[in-house]
Amino acid sequence: MKILIACDKFKGSLTAPEACEAVAAGLAETLGDSANEIQLLPIADGGDGMARALTAAGSGEWVTCQVKNALGETTEAGYGMIKASKVAVIEMAEASGLAQMESRDLDPWVASTFGTGELILDAVRHGVEEIVLGIGGSATNDGGSGMAEALGFRFLNSQGEPVDSLPADLEKVVKIVTPSSLNLPKITVACDVTNPLLGQSGCTTIYGQQKGIKPSDLARHEKRLLHLVRICGERGSG
């Protein structure tokens, strides 16, 4: 009997490879020799485990580097490098994810995607021609501003002074300065949802509490993201 086992992660308990291996062990014990060919194919939805699953499927290698986690602490994170096609597979959950916070209290006002931007920069330095970026499983609600800052974008207030790209400070931003030397490859975003950034079905409303936002603060976070969108849409600003 030939059996293909294709599992995604079991959030908070098993990674996709661990889930596949557990199912395989159970089938082997139950079916014995009749299960003469079991193939494992871990899958992912753009969140935790996507990078490792696609890297394994593409016979790539895992690259690690030092980056900032969602709370700005130095940590080791990694991404997949498929050299044959010059593709890097990066997931936001690896550097800026909920799983990296373990049981610690989340702080959505300072949680940042900066570390994901650092992973992108490292991949660019390795000469990749395309990046597949999974955006699920993050502990952040900064609209990607942290990633942008890591890539060299500068956020300025009305006095022309630098402003942190943290959610708490986004309303102070009046201009975003684009880096002059940034040369990014093609970036393909991977996710399994169609939620827009803003509105009743937007990221803050649907996923905000998962990232530690109090119900009473949802509107304030939404207002900051709306401000960021307006600034990004102004001519000469980003």
The verdict on 4 and 39 lying in the same domain is: yes
The fraction of the chain above a pLDDT of 90, given in percent, is 73
Structural domain includes residue 122: yes
In this model, does residue 170 exceed pLDDT 90? yes
The verdict on 197 and 92 lying in the same domain is: yes
Give the distance from CA 169 to its chain's centroid: 21
The verdict on 21 and 57 lying in the same domain is: no
The verdict on 70 and 23 lying in the same domain is: no
The verdict on 95 and 31 lying in the same domain is: no
**What range defines the domain where residue 30 resides?**
1-43
Mean pLDDT score, 102-122: 91
Structural domain includes residue 237: no
Residue pLDDT, tens place only, 206-225: 999 999 999 999 999 999 99
Segment 5-13 long-range contacts (CB within 8 Å, at least 24 positions apart): 5/38, 5/39, 5/40, 5/41, 6/41, 6/42, 6/43, 7/42, 7/43, 8/42, 8/43, 8/44, 8/45, 8/49, 9/44, 9/47, 9/48, 9/49, 11/48, 12/99
Residue pLDDT, tens place only, 9-56: 887 788 888 899 999 999 988 888 777 788 998 888 888 889 998 998
pLDDT given for residue 103 in this prediction: 58
Residue pLDDT, tens place only, 113-129: 999 999 999 999 999 99
The verdict on 14 and 51 lying in the same domain is: no
- What is the tally of structural domains in the chain? 2
pLDDT given for residue 206 in this prediction: 96
pLDDT given for residue 24 in this prediction: 92
Structural domain includes residue 202: yes
pLDDT given for residue 130 in this prediction: 98
Q: Mean pLDDT of all residues in the chain?
A: 92
Handedness of CA 204, 45, 87, 17 (dihedral sign): positive
pLDDT given for residue 237 in this prediction: 52
Q: Residue 202's pLDDT band (boundaries 50, 70, 90)? A: very high
β partners of residue 186: 130
The verdict on 147 and 215 lying in the same domain is: yes
Structural domain includes residue 238: no
Residue pLDDT, tens place only, 174-187: 999 999 888 999 99
The verdict on 115 and 12 lying in the same domain is: no
In this model, does residue 234 exceed pLDDT 70? no
In this model, does residue 228 exceed pLDDT 90? yes
In this model, does residue 149 exceed pLDDT 70? yes
CATH number at residue 146: 3.90.1510.10
The verdict on 70 and 39 lying in the same domain is: no
Structural domain includes residue 25: yes
pLDDT given for residue 236 in this prediction: 52
